[in-house]
Amino acid sequence: MILLTGATGYVGGRLLKELESRGEHLRCLARQPEFLRPKVAGGTEVVAGDVLDRASLDAALHRVDTAYYLVHSMRAGEQFEKSDRLAAQNFAAAARAAGVERVIYLGGLGDPTHELSPHLRSRQEVGRLLAQSGAAVVELRASIVIGSGSLSFEMIRALVERLPVMITPRWVEVPAQPIAMRDLLTYLLAARALELTGHQVIEIGGADVVTYGEIMREYARQRRLRRWMIPVPVLTPRLSSLWLGLVTPVYARIGRILVDSIREPTIVRDDSARRFFPDIHPRGIREAIASALGNEDAGVAQTRWSDALSSAGARRQWGGVRFGNRIVDSRVVEVPVPPAVAFAPIQRVGGGTGWYYGNWLWRVRGWLDLLAGGAGMRRGRRDAEGLQPGDVVDCWRVEAIEVDHLLRLSAEMKLPGRAWLEFEVAPTPAGARIRQTAIFDPVGLAGLAYWYALYPVHELVFAGMLRGIARAAR
């Protein structure tokens, strides 16, 4: 039996899926289990508990062999360290009482002989407290994690995408050893098989030691953005955190904790990872960023947007919701016909059929694209009735098609970014539901300006298109 704490967090949520895919006997601890249960596989047990409540941990740790401890507080001030200390003491006591054999903990890199930030100091104290459980404790210490959705990566992304010129404080030149999310998961999974007793600290990191400035420049290179960084010595952690709060999705409070932590070098100082995990070869920063961006592309291909944006006016947002760097605009309509009938007009879109609304606007867009050196709308389509992956549809290309269910088109027009248009048909008791989703991945400020400047036109055209498809289906 494996117990996973922090399954609702970023790393824990990814680890949850990895463990489930391996068919592990898994139990998750959650303060609000009703929120986690819909997200786990059928064989995964979810129990209520809180690491700050010692009594609630006994049932969670019953018959557990290995426990993953992926809990830490992001609150600021003295209370933050007290909460982490109490949580670790409670968990260690409960693990000792339950006879847990192994605890795997994800901590933070940092030289303990230096004056660490409160955040890093607390992360390392938690490892020492967990060792009081009497179990074999594997403490993996890592620097920042590079993965789609990780706090550090989203901060870097927002800064680079939104600021052509950056006034950078001194911490931008502090060295770090970032690790790709995929490699971190590999270490966490492999830690279960280590033959050891007692408390073992293992420092893990990617193949490259880089500064935060170098990470931002590599992100800009892969996104084909030109960025200038002007270093200044006067930005304090407090000012930096407020700046992050304005420019990035990171709240100023969390930004302060983050900036405090990254003022210190977070690099691997020993070879313990190579000794304990000789078969793991972590990737460098270039591969890590490419992997994060590639995983977002896979997310676009795999995600259904039913939960991202409702057609109900109360939940719609002007401009669309954000998914990583992408902007998603989604809308639905229900029709009283079977799914196959509802999908038929979608499969005929473009070419001689047109786009069901505002065809003259589509032609204008095609002419503008031709002037910019693009393909325009003149290519038409191979077959008026059927589509296959790779087919051209005017200025789009078929990326995926599932008969009577899904059509996803990727844009081949000239754009400051990338775009997809997706149609999904699902059965309902009265007929079928058609969901139409426009997805845009803007590059830099030009991409954002393009999307928001044309959003009123998109709103008109996409809404009219969906109405036209519904009329054709009926």
CATH superfamily of the 307-473 domain: START domain (3.30.530.20)
Q: Give Cβ neighbours of residue 456 (< 8 Å, ≥ 6 apart).
A: none
Q: Which residue has the tokens 């880089």?
A: 210
Measure CA of the first residue to CA of the last residue in the chain; give whole Å: 53
- The structure tokens listed for 262 are 């990254």
Each residue of 435-449: b (16+ CB within 10 Å) or e? bbbbbbbbbbeebbe
**Cβ count near 398 (within 10 Å):** 18
- Identify the pLDDT of residue 288: 95
One CATH from 3.90.180.10, 3.40.50.720, 1.20.1260.10, 3.30.70.20 for 2-298: 3.40.50.720
Residue pLDDT tens, the chain, 474 long: 999 999 988 899 899 999 999 999 999 999 888 878 888 988 999 999 999 999 999 999 999 999 999 998 765 455 778 889 999 999 999 999 999 999 999 999 988 887 777 788 888 999 999 998 889 999 999 998 998 878 788 788 878 888 888 877 777 888 999 999 999 999 999 999 998 889 999 999 999 999 989 999 999 999 988 988 888 776 565 666 666 666 665 555 565 666 666 677 889 999 999 999 999 999 999 999 999 888 877 665 444 434 333 333 334 556 667 766 788 888 899 999 999 999 999 999 999 999 999 999 999 988 988 888 777 888 889 888 889 988 999 999 999 999 999 999 999 998 999 999 999 999 999 999 999 999 998 988 888 899 989 988 988 999 999 999 999 999
- The structure tokens listed for 230 are 């002007």
Beta strands 175-176 and 210-211 are: antiparallel
User: What are the distances in angstroms from CA 74 to CA 104, 123, 250?
Assistant: 20, 11, 12
Domain borders along the chain are: 2-298, 307-473
Looking at the DSSP bridge assignments, the partners of residue 332 are 435
Half-sphere exposure of residue 407, counting CA atoms within 13 Å on the CB side? 26
Please say whether the beta carbons of 137 and 198 come within 8 A. yes
Burial of residue 236 (number of CB atoms within 10 Å: 0-12, 13-18, 19+): exposed
- Identify the pLDDT of residue 81: 82
Burial of residue 86 (number of CB atoms within 10 Å: 0-12, 13-18, 19+): middle
Each residue of 87-112: b (16+ CB within 10 Å) or e? bbbbbbbbbeebebebbbbbbbbbee
- The structure tokens listed for 199 are 């408390």
Task: Please spell the DSSP secondary structure of 106-175, one letter per residue.
Answer: EEE---TTS---HHHHHHHHHHHHHGGGSSEEEEEEE--EESTT-HHHHHHHHHHHH-SEEEE-GGGG-E
